[in-house]
A = this chain, B = another copy of it.
Amino acid sequence: MGTIERRGIMERLDNGEVVIGDGGFVFALEKRGYVKAGPWTPEAVVEHPEAVRQLHREFLRAGSDVMQAFTFYASDDKLSNRGNTASQKFGCTNINAAACRVAREVAQEGGALFLGGVCQTPTYLSGASKEDTKEIFRGQMRAFKDEGVDFILCEYFEHVEEAEWAIEVGLETGLPVACSMCIGPQGDMHGNSAGHCAIRMARAGAKIVGVNCHYDPFVSLEAIKLMKEALERENLKAYLMCQPLAYMTPDAGKQGFIDLPEFPFALESRICNRWDMHRYAREAYDLGVRFIGGCCGFEPYHIRAVAEELAAERGRFPAGSEKHVVWGGGLKMHTKPWVRARANREYWENLNPASGRPYSSAMSKPDNWGVTRGNEMLVQHAHETTTEEEDLVRGIKDKLKTACCQHHQETKKEADLVAAAQAVTETA
């Protein structure tokens, strides 16, 4: 953990190294009991810092090279949205500063970097002006600068316009800025292609660009591939980053896993296993991605799988491999002989895991409301959701179901599935 580890993010990337990110704190801490699903805000870093610290340590141990301060959605507009009282109780600055301190502390234990992140805002979705939106980002960035983060991450944007504004504010800090959008191969909510989004992020000044959240590793890499091709066409230089879901989403629509009926409380049967992550790490690396991490659903063992797959390239195993042998080798110590017979790569690489759910299907049909920035239902407000609003959204749901019946939806979907499957098989 000597001198070499003090080098910054750009030095590492310029040196050809793979930087391993961490996983999604919001989902992991929701399962541990510290984050509320719905608002998804990070005030737990003030209320229960020991829980956040422990999760940082687990990712560090798993091989993460960067500790992302737990600041997701920690802007005052989100902290006070729809009945949330976190803004009032703690406030954006306190939360961001506390998150930085916890991240820095753990980062220093293992020679990792630490960073602060901002993401899309209710302010923007409500249709506010560029300056008003940038002011929201500025509030968060100040805390990052004061706490001495190593770099800035602007992430989880559905509209490239807002991502550009965030990058602009990030650059005001003088620190390197990375930017990733929560989009797939279809591009952003304003109809910009994935490639065009990459170009705009790079032109706005992000040194590292890519995607995070919303899609599984393999869909996300499809989006990255389009980004890479666009950047090359335009002769733009930017490192690629990928921090996908740890949920399988071949059936997700344009708004990603949020549209899937299982979001957020029944995603379990879609969780990726460690072998999926080996494959993800290998394909990301082969595609040229050098910032490889995860988002919602990633647990420490998923990151460890990434670090183990790339151990040869990185010249080291993560600390957590003390308790893991690659490709199931630990099973040689299992009591049952038929489990010992599974202690090899061939077994796990070829296994197609069953769901254990005979009444469930392979795919779901996503909700597809298609509302985005400016729609009244997305507007930020401080009061709780009223019964009238509840009735409204449930009514819309039922109406959509009727208007665009299953029959019709299926037609389109199957046709496209076929087209995709064909395209694939040809090249495989």
Contacts and interface: CB of A to CB of B under 8 A. Distances in A.
Interface of A: 30-39, 44, 50-51, 54, 57-58, 61-62, 81-84, 122, 125, 184-186, 215-216, 218-219, 221-222, 247-255, 258-275, 279, 283, 299-301, 304, 320, 323-325, 328-344, 348-371, 377-378, 384-385, 389-390, 392-394, 396-397, 404-428
B354 A362 contact: yes
A318 to B, nearest CB: 8
Contacts of A411: 218, 279, 283
Enumerate the 8 nearest inter-chain pairs by beta-carbon distance, A residue then B residue, closest first. Answer: A253-B425, A420-B420, A248-B356, A38-B330, A219-B418, A33-B320, A416-B424, A416-B420
Contacts of A37: 324, 328, 330-331
Given A221-B415, A369-B338, A405-B349, A262 B354 contact: yes
16 contacts: A31-B300, A50-B57, A81-B335, A253-B425, A255-B336, A259-B425, A262-B353, A268-B268, A269-B353, A270-B357, A332-B384, A340-B389, A344-B394, A356-B362, A362-B363, A404-B428
Given A39-B330, A355-B270, A62 B33 contact: yes
Contact of A393 (B275, B279, B341, B416): B341
Contacts of A265: 273-275, 328, 342, 348
B33 A58 contact: yes
Contacts of A301: 30-33
A332 B38 contact: yes
Contact of A39 (B259, B333, B417): B333
A367 to B, nearest CB: 4
B352 A361 contact: yes
A250 B353 contact: no
Contacts of A38: 325, 329-334, 343
A330 B339 CA distance: 41
B413 A356 contact: no
Question: Within the oligomer, what is the number of copies of this chain?
Answer: 4
A89 to B, nearest CB: 13
- Among A215, A221, A270, max chain B CB count under 10 A is at A270
A67 to B, nearest CB: 15
A343 B411 CA distance: 23
Given A340-B390, A354-B362, 16 more contacts: A31-B300, A32-B301, A33-B58, A37-B330, A83-B333, A250-B417, A251-B358, A253-B424, A253-B428, A254-B425, A268-B272, A269-B353, A352-B359, A413-B424, A417-B417, A417-B424
A355 to B, nearest CB: 4
A218 to B, nearest CB: 5
A424 B344 CA distance: 28
Given A356-B248, A377-B337, A411-B283, A350 B419 contact: no
Nearest to A367: B338
Nearest to A334: B38
Contact of A416 (B252, B263, B397, B421): B421
Given A265-B348, A408-B428, A421-B253, A34 B271 contact: no
Given A337-B371, A340-B393, A422-B252, A348 B266 contact: yes
A249 B186 contact: no
Contact of A269 (B253, B271, B378, B428): B271
Contacts of A44: 323
A335 B124 CA distance: 12
A250 B358 contact: yes
Contacts of A336: 255, 258, 369, 378
A407 B32 contact: no
Contacts of A323: 30, 33-36, 44
A185 B247 CA distance: 30
Contacts of A341: 390, 393-394, 396-397
A251 B361 contact: no
Contacts of A370: 426
